[in-house]
Structure 1
């Protein structure tokens, strides 16, 4: 079986709604976030997964559970969100008042992770997962999932800024069937209201 990653971002939290950077702060899902997670069931239940991995943070673990895959899930620490350091809980628009050109994927965060560390973490996880064959579900977070996808394409993690990734969205990474060594994005940033049951 060809390796495919189903990358799922957690559902809405209070800070994702307000635009505050949420790294290691362990926030729960909002009621709407729980509904978003449940809405993934029809698009995940028909997929046979050889492995289901989730970030240790409760917003990802709860999304995994509510989407119907919790029973098979294992915690993978490398799926945790970026460490925002001094920027934890702050909004980009507020950070930009002091640093107008700041970009987390290029500049990192004071006392948090550097882009190089994020890139290395994604590479480590990819190397580990490439021993698998079949469909692998990854429940993670907005920024790390973007970095993971960019590193899957073997591009600089700084390019992650060009990818949007909404709450409870699904993306699929894999290989080009005509060029089996070429890594591709099959689907990106799809939410349940966009998806059709036969589209995956």
Structure 2
């Protein structure tokens, strides 16, 4: 059996500021580093064979903290980077909601109608990450794989494994920083056995922004 342990990066400075990150980047906060440490402690007895991380700095740093002192290779992967938000990247949610109200509403409520302002559609992200995860599953068959990525990519992977309609993209668990998702791969079956779990949190801290 191949087992995927999939998580999101820890809280970042732009999360706190309410800025869209996408394929731009900001550093983990002190809490974000703690969130990664908590997940690392939770997974310390799991024999992880390889860590595949989005090549964005916030994801790589999260992967490094989760790995700790273990001798596990971290493989950066451009195709696991967050959705490209185009002109929205680096801007405050409040600004985006003011200047692109229809697009912002569709992004969160009607993903099948969302048209990006110079970035990616949800379908493009789904295509990108589903193709990549199938390559990963094929290459590391029978292994335990930790994937460190981003909120929209995580939801895209869940949507892919559950074969959701695009309009249901946001349904299911919210993807908090360093939440844990586990997918078991057996031959042609893919079963999500854990989704959006934050039971490793040692404080009641939650982040709702990108």
Q: Could you say whether these structures have the same fold, taking a TM-score greater than 0.5 normalized by the shorter chain as the test?
A: yes
- 1:103 aligned to 2:107? yes
How far the C-alpha of 1:157 sits from its partner, in A, is: 4.2
| Superposed counterparts of 1:30-69, under 5 Å | 30-68=29-67
- 1:167 aligned to 2:174? no
* Contact in 2 for aligned 1:151/1:157 (Cα 8 Å): no
| RMSD of aligned Cα (Å) | 2.2
TM-score (norm: length of structure 2): 0.81
What is the SS of the residue equivalent to 2:67? coil
* Contact in 1 for aligned 2:23/2:84 (Cα 8 Å): yes
TM-score (norm: length of structure 1): 0.84
- Seen in structure 2, the aligned counterparts of structure 1 residues 14 and 108 have a Cα distance that, compared at 3 Å, is farther
How far the C-alpha of 1:108 sits from its partner, in A, is: 4.3
Name the stretch that deviates more: 75-84 or 34-43.
34-43
What is the SS of the residue equivalent to 1:162? coil
Per-residue Cα deviation, 1:69-104 (whole angstroms, up to 9, x for no partner): 684211111110110001213455554442163226
Question: Which one of the candidate residues 128, 142, 145 is aligned to 1:133?
Answer: 142
Cα distance in 1 between the residues matched to 2:13 and 2:64: 19
Q: In the alignment, what sits opposite 2:205?
A: none
Q: In the alignment, what sits opposite 1:79?
A: 80
Q: In the alignment, what sits opposite 1:113?
A: 120
- Seen in structure 2, the aligned counterparts of structure 1 residues 64 and 122 have a Cα distance that, compared at 3 Å, is same
Cα distance in 2 between the residues matched to 1:41 and 1:21: 26
Q: In the alignment, what sits opposite 1:27?
A: 26
